[in-house]
Each structure stands twice: as structure tokens, then as C-alpha cells.
């Protein structure tokens, strides 16, 4: 294939475009946009890994997506607990989201950790121990 194109391709960009036409699946950008739209942060996926995956998906589109659009899509598909914690803030960049999100994620991970119920027998004040519903 390459030998047949050598004479008509003059730059790296032209080669990349030609390779996409020949080797990518039909409607690749459309299907990738759908994948981006449906990509949510996994239950145990860290914020940094989720953002990295989203940035990787966006980088594979043939047209550049504005930062504001990426930011909104990432925010919309964050873990619900992170969405709740971060809804009090406004972000102008993905980097701002990443920095504040790391702090919020610490709280999410803490709340997800299993904490054993306090034992009445070892409590100093057994009448004040949480007894459950």
C-alpha cells in the first residue's frame, strides 16, 4: 500500500490522513464521539486515570474539541459522589478539575472504605455507641 502512495504524499500529515481513510473503520469519528459520550468513570477508577482515558479518546478524533466541551463531558460522566462533591465549584480547565477532584476523591475513597461497627463491649460509654437501625 505504502509504495503505491509514495509519489502522491508529500508530508507526514498527508500520510496520516491517507492511512486513516484506508485503515480506520467507517464513521470512526462518529463512533468514537459516541464512545466518549458514553464513557463514565468506573466505580473504582481513579479520577486521574479517568481523565487520562478521556483525553486519550479526544486525542484520537480527527478534529480538535474545545477544552470547555471536554471539561463539561468529563464532569457529566464523573462518579456520582465526585459530581456531588465538585458541584459547588466552577472549573475553567481540566487541570483545575483534576487538582480539586483529587481532593474530593480522597473523601470519596474514605467514605467507601469499610469501617467496622464499634463494639459495645469495648466502649467506655456503651449507652452512647451506635446501635444501628
User: Cβ(129)–Cβ(118) under 8 Å?
Assistant: yes
Residue 118 has pLDDT above 60, yes or no: no
Closest CA to 105 of 23, 21, 48: 48
Ramachandran class of 70: left when φ > 0, alpha when ψ lies in -120 to 50, beta otherwise: alpha
Phi and psi of 45, rounded to 5°? -85, 130
- Span 11-32, average pLDDT: 88
Is residue 93 helix, strand or coil? Answer: coil
Check residue 94 and report its DSSP letter.
Answer: H
Q: What percent of the chain has pLDDT over 90?
A: 55
Residue 47 has pLDDT above 70, yes or no: yes
pLDDT at 22: 87
- Span 31-53, average pLDDT: 94
Q: Where are the domains of the chain?
A: 26-110
Query: Which range has the worst mean pLDDT, 1-10, 30-39, 83-92?
Result: 1-10
Give the DSSP letter string of 24-56.
SPTTHHHHHHHHHHH----TT--HHHHHHHHHH
Domain range 26-110, its CATH number among 1.10.1200, 3.30.300, 1.20.58, 1.10.3470: 1.10.1200
Show Cβ contacts of residue 91 under 8 Å, excluding neighbours closer than 6 positions.
Answer: 71, 75, 97, 100
Between 66 and 117, whose confidence is greater?
Answer: 66
17 band by pLDDT with thresholds 50, 70 and 90? confident
131 band by pLDDT with thresholds 50, 70 and 90? low
C-alpha cell at 36: 466518549
20 band by pLDDT with thresholds 50, 70 and 90? confident
Amino acid at each position: 500500500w505504502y509504495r503505491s502512495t509514495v509519489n502522491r504524499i508529500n508530508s507526514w500529515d498527508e500520510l496520516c490522513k491517507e492511512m486513516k481513510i484506508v485503515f480506520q473503520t467507517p464513521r470512526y469519528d462518529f463512533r468514537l464521539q459516541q464512545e466518549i459520550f458514553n464513557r463514565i468513570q468506573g466505580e473504582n477508577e481513579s479520577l486521574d486515570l479517568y481523565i487520562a482515558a478521556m483525553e486519550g479518546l479526544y486525542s484520537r478524533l480527527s478534529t480538535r474539541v474545545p477544552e470547555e466541551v471536554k471539561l463539561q463531558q468529563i464532569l457529566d460522566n464523573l462518579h456520582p459522589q465526585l459530581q456531588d462533591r465538585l458541584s459547588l465549584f466552577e472549573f475553567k480547565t481540566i487541570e483545575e478539575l483534576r487538582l480539586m477532584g483529587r481532593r474530593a476523591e480522597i473523601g470519596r475513597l474514605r467514605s467507601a472504605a469499610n469501617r467496622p461497627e464499634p463494639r459495645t463491649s469495648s466502649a467506655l460509654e456503651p449507652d452512647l455507641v451506635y446501635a444501628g437501625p
